[in-house]
Amino acid sequence: MVYIQAVTKRGFLRQVAEGAKRSASTLRESLIAAQAQVYTANFQKGRLLVSTSGSGQSGSFEIGIQGKDFTQVNVFSMFEELIEILDSVIAQGLSADTSIPADTDALFTVMCQDDRLVGVTSEMGDYTSLNVPSMGGLPTQ
């Protein structure tokens, strides 16, 4: 799971879905195109660089900044996760990926219900009513 807040993932998905409708593309085509925009030369080398120059000299370096969890790697991975969710929704037959805006809206709605986009990371159960004796096992007669 990519460590970007679920609400941010849903926001990215919404923007990609709206772009798909505007360009009459499928949601999958739009997700792959958006992911390709993140895949730059610096990403391929595994580094996010900041460059500066002056007085005939230049330098590139990585600096620590707030929000560093929102890096190219995480954004790239987030798009991969969205593509996996899309594939899962289509495989289950819950919606179709076409260039029809109504289908894109339906896909967006179904995809947003996936646990990875809701933010559910665990599930608990209430087992207090099982009434299991604490000692001795089953009664004998």
Instruction: Split the chain (141 residues) into runs of 10 and give each run's mean pLDDT.
Output: 78 92 94 84 56 68 57 82 92 89 92 84 67 57 59
The verdict on residue 138 lying in a domain is no
The verdict on residue 114 lying in a domain is yes
Which residue range forms the structural domain that includes residue 96? 6-121
104, 112 in Cβ contact below 8 A?
Answer: no
Those residues whose C-beta lies under 8 Å from the C-beta of residue 79, and which sit 6 or more positions away, are 12, 31, 32, 34, 35, 38
The verdict on residue 140 lying in a domain is no
Question: What's the number of domains the chain is made of?
Answer: 1
The verdict on residue 55 lying in a domain is yes
The verdict on residue 137 lying in a domain is no
The verdict on residue 18 lying in a domain is yes
The verdict on residue 42 lying in a domain is yes
The verdict on residue 134 lying in a domain is no
Given this model, what pLDDT does residue 96 score?
A: 86
Crossing angle (nearest 10°) for helices 72-91 and 6-23 = 70
Tokens 């990215």, located at residue = 12
